[in-house]
């Protein structure tokens, strides 16, 4: 090799003529990984051949392809990646026919405004440089479909995106962006966008207008609000890991295409049932490393869900309905204080967990074709009972209620249906109805009309989706209230005002504490069931409720009383608590 020449006969100050001739013929020039600190001048003059060169080429054998200067093509692809370039100079404007310009992995701090002359450019890769700003002229590259700006030092994108309506893929990850421009909504063809590892605290509303977006990565930012995805009709994958989300807002319409959502390492306290219903096509849901204390049974509505990651949360148990999710192939629960699932079951994997949950679902005791109830004799009098259960009915026939009212029915059983609202027609039975069961329905709230049924002595609302009750104090004859298997985080205050109450069953909810002051008001209370909740502490003062004959507290997160004490029964529990009350 001659002194002063590099590989391939390349001069230190230029590129070999053979390589340039090849570029003139193919329209492509690759100068990557050559430790270039600047682009050699003869590259910028690639398509310029003076008269002397033409004469020399003409004198050569016309059959020599390399010598046919008249057959040269415009440069359409220029690769300058993995060098030491510090700028993209004015000369770049000499290649207006470029389709691809790749200068990634350099030290570029500035871009010439002449880049705006590359009107045919479709792909621009400026990643892994040290850019702090972009020139507005980049917005003139209206044919651009791929733009890569990751791993730079950008703090904003300026007006560059305003006219890039053909853009299909955009990567601005690993920068210092604090906001995205309002012009995002103009990118109607954008399919993939990566804005991860920035300093974004909010998103422009126009993000919801990205109708073609399929893959959106906003991970590792500072977002505290779920993005406006209702208008993203094509979105399939959404990554929001490592942000500051504390709640989830539901999309206004169902996102029928969304298959993957990643929400790990946020600050989520709960997952709302309405939010889950917005994603019927979901296959992967990752909510690991948050602060969830429970998970809604509405997840069973995600009929295509195959992978659910709930690792490292504060979940003590799962809804038994999840046992019916046969399509679920992976359920990750490691790092949760599971009190309602034995460790050996969890260790056996997803199939064992689902099997256990399914076994806990209360099985139907009667076949689906239970006939409508007729008046029946009970004891020495004529007790009339209305049974309309296990019908999967969303409403109760009005004529049935009218007939029941005329018959003076005292016992009503509407359990195991699909009721979402309290049947207002039940008010017709307010003077005769003594017991009412609305168990195993889909109630998320209870109408205040219930308080007109003042003759009720037993009310069963178990296995619904209730998290609160109306003011039930007017139910002044109520002896037994069952609210187990719901979503109560506390016992409603009005319950403590029902002076007649003898039995309160509130197991399998999300109760966090025992309100001893409220329970003291229930002078007749003899049975209290608060099993399988999230109670972290049992107040010693509970031991002073001497009327209690049945107290059930197992399946909570508290450490004392220990299981050995709980196993000894109510009196032993109360005595243990009394012994822990500090001396006055």
Q: What is the pLDDT of residues 296-312, one digit of tens each?
A: 888 888 889 999 999 99
Those residues whose C-beta lies under 8 Å from the C-beta of residue 531, and which sit 6 or more positions away, are 507, 508, 552, 553, 554, 555, 556
This prediction's pTM: 0.63
| DSSP codes joined into one string, 431-486 | TT--EEE--SS--SS--GGGGG-TT-SEEE--SS--S-----TT-TT--EEE--SS
Q: Is residue 232 part of a domain?
A: no
Q: Which residue has the higher pLDDT, 147 or 249?
A: 147
Q: Is residue 64 part of a domain?
A: no
Bond preceding residue 561 cis, omega within 30 of 0: yes
Round the average pLDDT of the chain to a whole number and report it. 87
State yes or no: pLDDT of 549 exceeds 60.
Answer: yes
**Spatial contact of 512 and 530, defined as CB atoms under 8 Å apart:** no
Q: Is residue 499 part of a domain?
A: yes
Domain count, the chain: 1
**Spatial contact of 123 and 100, defined as CB atoms under 8 Å apart:** yes
State yes or no: pLDDT of 170 exceeds 70.
Answer: yes
Q: Is residue 500 part of a domain?
A: yes
Q: What is the pLDDT of residues 49-72, one digit of tens each?
A: 644 455 555 555 445 544 455 568
Q: Is residue 350 part of a domain?
A: no
What CATH number is attached to the domain comprising 413?
3.80.10.10
Cα separation, 124 vs 143, whole angstroms: 11
Q: Is residue 184 part of a domain?
A: no
528 is in which domain, residue-wise?
385-579
The H-or-E segment that residue 406 falls in is: helix 398-407
Using CA of residue 312, residue 313, residue 315, residue 316, what is the dihedral sign? positive
State yes or no: pLDDT of 380 exceeds 70.
Answer: no
**Spatial contact of 84 and 107, defined as CB atoms under 8 Å apart:** yes
Q: Is residue 532 part of a domain?
A: yes
Confidence of residue 197 (pLDDT cuts 50, 70, 90): very high
Q: Is residue 316 part of a domain?
A: no
State the pLDDT at residue 424: 81
């Amino acid at each position: 090799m001659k002194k002063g020449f590099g590989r391939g006969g390349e001069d230190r100050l230029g590129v070999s003529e053979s390589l340039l001739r090849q570029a003139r013929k193919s329209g492509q020039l690759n100068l990557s990984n050559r430790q270039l600190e600047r682009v050699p001048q003869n590259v910028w003059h690639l398509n310029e051949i003076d008269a002397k060169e033409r004469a020399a080429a003409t004198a050569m054998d016309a059959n020599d392809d390399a010598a046919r200067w008249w057959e040269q093509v415009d440069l359409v692809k220029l690769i300058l990646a993995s060098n030491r370039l510090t700028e993209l100079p004015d000369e770049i404007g000499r290649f207006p026919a470029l389709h691809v310009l790749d200068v990634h992995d350099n030290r570029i701090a500035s871009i010439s405004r002449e880049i705006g002359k590359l009107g045919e450019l479709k792909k621009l890769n400026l990643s892994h440089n040290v850019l702090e700003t972009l020139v507005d002229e980049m917005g003139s590259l209206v044919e651009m479909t791929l733009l890569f700006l990751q791993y730079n030092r950008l703090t904003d994108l300026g007006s560059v995106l305003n006219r890039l309506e053909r853009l299909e893929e955009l990567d601005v990850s690993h920068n210092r962006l604090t906001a995205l421009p309002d012009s995002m909504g103009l990118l109607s063809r954008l399919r993939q966008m990566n804005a991860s590892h920035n300093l974004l605290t909010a998103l422009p509303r126009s993000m919801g207008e990205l109708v073609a977006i399929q893959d959106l990565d906003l991970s590792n930012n500072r977002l505290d609000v779920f993005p406006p995805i209702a208008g993203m009709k094509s979105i399939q994958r959404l990554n929001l890991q490592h942000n500051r989300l504390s709640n989830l807002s539901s999309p206004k319409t169902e996102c029928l295409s969304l298959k993957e959502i990643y929400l790990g390492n946020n600050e989520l306290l709960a997952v709302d049932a309405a939010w889950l219903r917005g994603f019927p096509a979901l296959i992967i849901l990752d909510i690991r490393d948050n602060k969830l204390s429970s998970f809604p049974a509405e997840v069973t509505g995600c009929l295509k869900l195959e992978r659910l990651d709930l690792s490292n949360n504060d979940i003590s148990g799962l809804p038994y309905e999840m046992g019916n999710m046969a399509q679920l192939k992976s359920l990750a629960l490691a790092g949760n204080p599971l009190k309602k699932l034995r460790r050996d079951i969890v260790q056996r994997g997803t199939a064992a967990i689902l099997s256990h949950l399914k076994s806990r679902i209360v099985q139907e005791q009667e076949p689906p074709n239970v006939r409508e109830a007729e008046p029946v004799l009970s004891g020495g009098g004529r007790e009339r009972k209305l049974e309309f259960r296990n019908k999967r009915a969303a409403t109760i026939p009005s004529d049935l209620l009218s007939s029941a009212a005329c018959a003076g029915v005292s016992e009503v059983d509407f359990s195991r249906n699909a009721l979402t609202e309290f049947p207002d027609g039940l008010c017709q039975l307010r003077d005769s109805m003594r017991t009412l069961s609305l168990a195993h329905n889909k109630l998320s709230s209870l109408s205040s009309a219930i308080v007109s049924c003042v003759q009720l002595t037993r009310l069963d609302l178990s296995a619904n989706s209730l998290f609160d009750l109306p003011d039930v104090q007017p139910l002044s004859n109520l002896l037994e209230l069952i609210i187990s298997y719901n979503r109560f985080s506390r016992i409603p205050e009005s319950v403590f005002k029902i002076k007649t109450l003898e039995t309160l069953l509130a197991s399998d909810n999300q109760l966090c504490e025992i309100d001893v002051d409220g329970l003291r008001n229930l002078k007749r209370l003899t049975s209290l069931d608060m099993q399988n909740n999230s109670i972290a502490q049992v107040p010693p003062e509970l031991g002073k409720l001497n009327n209690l004959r049945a107290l059930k507290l197992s399946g909570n997160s508290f450490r004392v009383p220990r299981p050995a004490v709980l196993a000894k029964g109510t009196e032993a529990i109360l005595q243990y608590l009394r012994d822990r009350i500090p001396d006055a």
